[in-house]
Amino acid sequence: MKHEKIIIIGAGPAGIAAAIQLQHFGFSPILFEKGDIGGLLRNAQSIQNFPGISYGISGIELIAIFKDHLEKKHIKIIKSYIEKIDFNNQFILFSDTETFTADRVIIATGTSPLSYSCANNKNVFYEVYPIRQVENKTIAIVGAGDAAFDYANTLLPKNKVIILNRSERIKANRTLYNEVMEKKKNLVYIKNVTIENIQTNESGSIRLILTNNESHEVDYVIAAIGRKPTMPEFTQKLQESKEYLQIKKKLLFIGDVKNNHFRQSSISIGEGVKAAMEMYDVLTENEEHACD
């Protein structure tokens, strides 16, 4: 059983920022990530509000910068999924490969998509990155929030995109909405509609039966209908100690896992830095007092 002083679970912007800041303070945090680093940045076509990058940058490009920073700082990333966490004077983390213990844990596990009732099809996705390179396809996107319109922006104009909004309300920010709606040639926008049935044709394409009695042939469907926090299972003992551990800065939650719809990389990065600073203050408190 390996012991670490500080373990960070999740290598999205929040977890990466916390790891870099802790390493800057002289610690050696370990990052756990079950997949590729970057979190939801993998889906972002163009990030226009990241300080210092006025020209905009794609999520993939920003992830490459983060990866380079982690490598240059020699921050260790363990490709493993933390399934459950217990606490007994120290944290006990059960991964899909082995067990670890830690003095302090930062949870930066982000979110997972809400399941879609008609999604029993291999060509139905919840995020855009698996098909971001496709061309000359027809893709239906279910949803009308920032994610849905950003996915549409990624896939246009090399594909035809059908946006299906279950109401009249547009949840996406106005700038993004206008940018997508200007690409009218390859865009179909339908409001007050849901998918009643999904049928798979022999050719592999999908036939969507809508509640407005329309039907559409598409190659892929992306369900962008919302997300929920995702995190490892906490044992009963950890649940009972969670509030105390948070007060003592031994257990911290940062980034999208706690921020509801405020999913912005800059917010997550700030929280990662702040969490590292809070832990540093606690860990060095006795040293400071010794110097008084």
CATH number, domain 115-223, options 2.40.30.10, 3.50.50.60, 3.30.70.20, 3.40.640.10: 3.50.50.60
CATH number for domain 2-112+227-291, candidates 3.40.50.720, 3.40.605.10, 3.50.50.60, 1.10.579.10: 3.50.50.60
Statement: the pTM of the whole predicted model exceeds 0.75? yes
- Give dist(CA 214, CA 237) in Å, integer: 53
* Domain range summary for the chain, segments of one domain joined by +: 2-112+227-291, 115-223
pLDDT tens for the chain, 292 residues: list them: 899 999 999 999 999 999 999 999 999 999 999 999 999 999 998 888 888 888 889 999 999 999 999 999 999 999 999 999 999 999 999 999 899 999 999 999 999 999 876 656 788 999 999 999 999 999 999 999 999 999 999 999 899 999 999 999 999 999 999 999 998 889 999 999 999 988 888 777 899 999 999 999 999 999 999 999 999 999 999 999 999 999 999 999 999 999 988 889 999 999 999 999 999 999 998 655 444 4
Same fold, 2-112+227-291 and 115-223: yes
> What's residue 118's pLDDT?
61
